[in-house]
Structure 1
């Protein structure tokens, strides 16, 4: 007779996600995962297959959480400019109890060059972010807040590139005011 799981899968996946986010894939050992997740090694293998599969599921979990949060920020905004400010504010600050930076940007930097699955997941996440930026830009162009001089897709690619840099810089001890200045200059280009 099969034993029932004595843990909630998303709860332990969140713990693994946070550990991978803090330490990266290579630095995180199975022993670290066992200690941090609070479950047995066998349970990790039974539930998530292996460390790589667990990492991919953590990436997916992260993307889902971030996308829901950003979509909520955009929908709660009254203007496209407000939406862009909220998106960048989230990227600079995220949440206090979470590691700084972005798990996807970290994954792309650490693994994408040698792991085709992580590369594909990173590119997919980047594409979703670019689509979000494009929708906001089109909204702003329609309402006259954002210049129609530039192609919305190209400006979305540009803003996404800025956001990746912001997320990477947020991992450092750099002054957040500098990040806000970078955002301010970038958004000024849309006027």
Structure 2
């Protein structure tokens, strides 16, 4: 009978040690994966009347609190992401595309699927949409080979524009 206990212990002891090791392994915190975020940045200006009708931004002034939208469409041409962003006091916007997903890593890539459009200007004197850099139809993104790194964070930065509204009071005799 002592032999049976010895055989039983010889079989059960390694199993108990395996179970304890597996339990101890589960208690160790898992290494966090880095999350990659897509960021779009750009500037919004008020075009000078002097250059009305052109794509020139010479003498243009930045517009604080202007709104732009980032629109992404998947490879089936359906909107997969939409959000409006506001410029800071210098007319600069930094649009972090939280929850942006790609169902197809090539066809839904931000360079191909996302565009930035003008939405609104807070300036009564400069609130007409212009199509400078395709601000009405959708300005394509450019990858400028910039990536921001942080602890458990990586932001891939794309640029858009610059975009511009134009004044509503430009007269043809003021243009060059």
Q: TM-score, normalised by structure 1?
A: 0.26
Q: Is the strand fraction higher in 1 or 2?
A: 2
Q: TM-score, normalised by structure 2?
A: 0.27
Greater RCO structure (CA 8 Å; 6+ sep): 2
